[in-house]
Amino acid sequence: MKAGVHKNLGAVVMAAGLGKRMKSKLAKVLHPVAGRPMVLYGVDLAQQLAGEHVAVVVGYQGKDVRAAIETSGPRAPVMIVEQAQQLGTGHAMQQARDVFRRLGKTLSTYVILNGDTPLLQAETLQALLRLHQDEHAAVTLLTATPDDPAGYGRVVRARDGHVQKIVEDRDATAAEKQIHEINVGTYVMDGSFLFDALDKLQPRNAQGEYYLTDVVTLAAERGLRISALAVSEAEGMGINTREQLAAAEQAVRRRICSYWMREGVTLRNPATTSIDADVVIGRDTVIHAGVALEGRTTIGEDCIVRSHTRISDSTLGHRVVVQDHCVIRESRLEDDAAIGPFAHLRPGAVLRRAAKVGNFVEMKKAELGEGSKANHLSYLGDATIGKGVNIGAGTITCNYDGHKKHETVIEDDVFVGSDTQFVAPVTIGKGAVIAAGATITADVPPDTLAIARAPQVNRPGWAARQRALLAGGATPPSRKLTSLKADKVSGKSSGRNAKPAKRRS
């Protein structure tokens, strides 16, 4: 295991509660902070200290919490403990204890975390553990002193300063409510003391729950040492409400922005930049105002991402330029690619080296080959486009026939004229040229010119006559334009009839 992991240490993350105060359909611990479910922050901290000896207590939406942990790529396997009924934090710890007993090893010390304190730092936990060991304590707790302690458990100290008990907000007397020092919900406890004390808990309180915090009282009664370490209000914040969630989100985002600036990334306006926890950015990349980088996004070196662009779960190579107002999801842009402004890459879009996508272009499951360009107003879906291809303005792959999706293949060095539709499935051979305004319904062999549009009809004088007619109050001939179809394609055929041509059959 990595350095920092303590062999004789177990850790428990309590994450079974619903989180009533969030007023949400989603379990509180699954609400994301900087793109990661809140519970993962605690799990990661716990693993940094205790390695594979980490249990997470799940209950409400437990399957989803388990899935969130397992798909996050944890440092080591995590033991998931079911707490079917959420009878309190003490009850949650009783369930975890059973799992550690079944492990067959006796661990001397346990770190316990609430699943709703995403701002806690690893150094703080290390310091808490050190204090616990230095002072030979039975219980060591983390405390904070917020301006508004409402809702938290208060730390009650004896006259000599020693911690005596923790009293929950709802059980506190008026005098106890005046106490500003609160219990963060992060503890280090001696294993044998804890395992025994858990049996002594009684649900005699306002909520009728088994409170883990009551083990503090038990330790005090037995004359055991209770130590405490103070952290800043911000770091100790437990998320119970949406407002606290927003505050935590901001704090985590600030940290992430600072981190990337220290790593050599320029953020033009960091207060408006949001970078998720799992994003990676290369040196000398410049990120402009209002950019959101989400999920598992990786950006290379020397890239430019201009304002109000969202990039989710995508990979950008080096020297990629993303102009303003783009949306890029589950896509890949290789070195020197360029995109935008106002472009939309949907899942499965690939821009190969130095490919270029311009304004109002949408791509989905489509690959644009090396050096190829789709500069204006296009939809490219279910398409494979080779190298050196020019996709003219307004090109559309008609990939959907109402039932199924079909593929368009455009080989290297094809020139596609503007306003072309490819009715898929269709393949355009290498070096072919598609004349503008084509509706391509059949394959085009290599090096072939394909023209697929109605030939042009020019009628000299027709427009002038129409204007004269309209001036005379007659019905404009344009109402009967269908009759033109029957005319010869010559420009002379309609002669100088004052009336529009009659349909001939």
Residues in contact with ligand UD1 by the rule CB under 6 A: 14-17, 29, 57, 59, 83, 86-89, 91-92, 114-116, 152-153, 166, 168, 182-185, 211-213, 238, 240
Token pair recorded at residue 486? 């029957």
Q: Which does 17 bind (CB under 5 to 8 A by kind): Ca ion, ligand UD1, none?
A: ligand UD1
For Ca ion, the binding residue among 90, 115, 238, 386 (CB under 5 A) is 238
Nearest to 181 by CA among 209, 206, 162: 162
Q: CA-to-CA distance for 155 and 168, rounded, in angstroms?
A: 9
x/- mask, Ca ion, residues 116-135, rule CB under 5 A, reads x-------------------
Give the residue at shortest CB distance from ligand UD1: 153
The rounded Cα 249 to chain-centroid distance in angstroms is: 13
Distance of CA 273 to the CA centre of its chain: 14
Q: Which is nearer to Ca ion, 240 or 375 (CB)?
A: 240
Q: What is the DSSP letter of 400?
A: B
Q: How far is the CB of 247 from Ca ion (least distance, A)?
A: 14
Q: Report whether the peptide linkage leading into residue 341 is cis, meaning its omega lies within 30 degrees of zero.
A: yes
| Distance of closest approach, residue 17 Cβ to Ca ion, in angstroms | 8
Segment contacting Ca ion by CB under 5 A, of 112-120, 389-397, 421-429, 477-485: 112-120
DSSP string of 259-307? Answer: HHHHTT-EESSGGG-EE-TT-EE-TT-EE-TT-EEESS-EE-TT-EE-S
The window from 113-121, 219-227, 228-236, 428-436 that contacts Ca ion (CB under 5 A) reads 113-121
Binding at 57: pick from Ca ion, ligand UD1, none (beta carbon under 5-8 Å per type): ligand UD1
**Residue in 374, 367, 362, 376 with CA at minimum distance from that of residue 348:** 367
Contact partners, residue 279, CB within 8 Å, separation at least 6: 35, 256, 293, 294, 295, 296, 297, 298, 299
Out of ligand UD1, Ca ion, none, what residue 266 binds, judged by CB under 5 to 8 A for its kind, is none
Residue with Cβ nearer Ca ion (10 or 115): 115
Of 115-123, 304-312, 326-334, 363-371, which part binds Ca ion (CB under 5 A)?
A: 115-123
Q: Is residue 19 at the binding interface for Ca ion, with CB under 5 A as the rule?
A: no
Q: Report d(CA 337, CA 349) in Å as an integer.
A: 12
For residue 167, the minimal CB distance to Ca ion (Å) is 15
Instruction: Out of 318, 325, 376, 406, pick the active-site residue.
Output: 376
Query: CB within 8 A of 4, min separation 6: which ones?
Result: 48, 49, 122, 126
SS3 436: coil
Residue placing its CB nearer to Ca ion in the complex, 24 or 240: 240
DSSP alpha helix (H) spans, 75-213: 89-103, 122-134, 174-177, 191-197
Q: Is 91 one of the catalytic residues?
A: no
Name the minimum Å distance from CB 239 to ligand UD1.
8
116 vs 330, which CB is nearer to Ca ion? 116
Catalytic residues: 376
The binding site for Ca ion (CB under 5 A) comprises 116, 238, 240
